[in-house]
Structure 1
């Protein structure tokens, strides 16, 4: 998974990574919000989900201490990160403000 992960985050398009756990209530609440973000932004963004329990090395590398944690990457660089729940509007605002074309 790890090498594939680096291929994914090293693209021109912003990539929002959702570090989650299957047992996490707020993570389950965030899933439909991220779906709405994807529906609204379409091809302008890629959203991937990383299960922290199954990808502990990756979670440790990015110091994910709580879930959900979202990290926005572009060209392999971390542009932003946030733990906890955000609204669709807040997430879109961050993506639009951080995204450099």
Structure 2
């Protein structure tokens, strides 16, 4: 099963910069168990609109069945890892 973590961010977003190192750590430790997709909302507004992203950072964990979890604001590592496990990563 493919699990994807979409990270909706913008270069001007302070909290997004706080979120980045957390995501990088998880990506390193979990290796290839999920795909991390960075979505710059300024450059990819169509994707942001499709997922109805209104605040940054927004993290969306999804698998083939659809969205498993959505987080708005800086999200702790444990919560992200729990969602990835729920999604089947």
Report the TM-score, using the length of structure 2 for normalisation: 0.91
Q: Rg: which structure is higher?
A: 1
Q: CA deviation at 1:37?
A: 0.7
Deviations 1:16-70 (A, max 9, x none): 0000011000001111100011112111111110000111111111110001000
- Residue 32 (structure 1) aligned to one of 21, 33, 54: 21
Q: Counterpart of 1:15?
A: 4
Kept in 1, the 8 Å contact 2:62–2:87? The answer is no
Equivalenced residues, count: 89
Kept in 1, the 8 Å contact 2:60–2:71? The answer is yes
Q: Which runs of 4+ in 1 moved over 4 A?
A: none
The unaligned stretches of length 5 or more in structure 1 are 1-11
Q: Counterpart of 1:82?
A: 71
Task: Single out whichever of 21-30 and 81-90 deviates more from structure 2.
Answer: 81-90
Higher relative contact order (CA 8 A, sep 6+): 2
The unaligned stretches of length 5 or more in structure 2 are none
* Cα separation, 1, equivalents of 2:82 and 2:27: 13
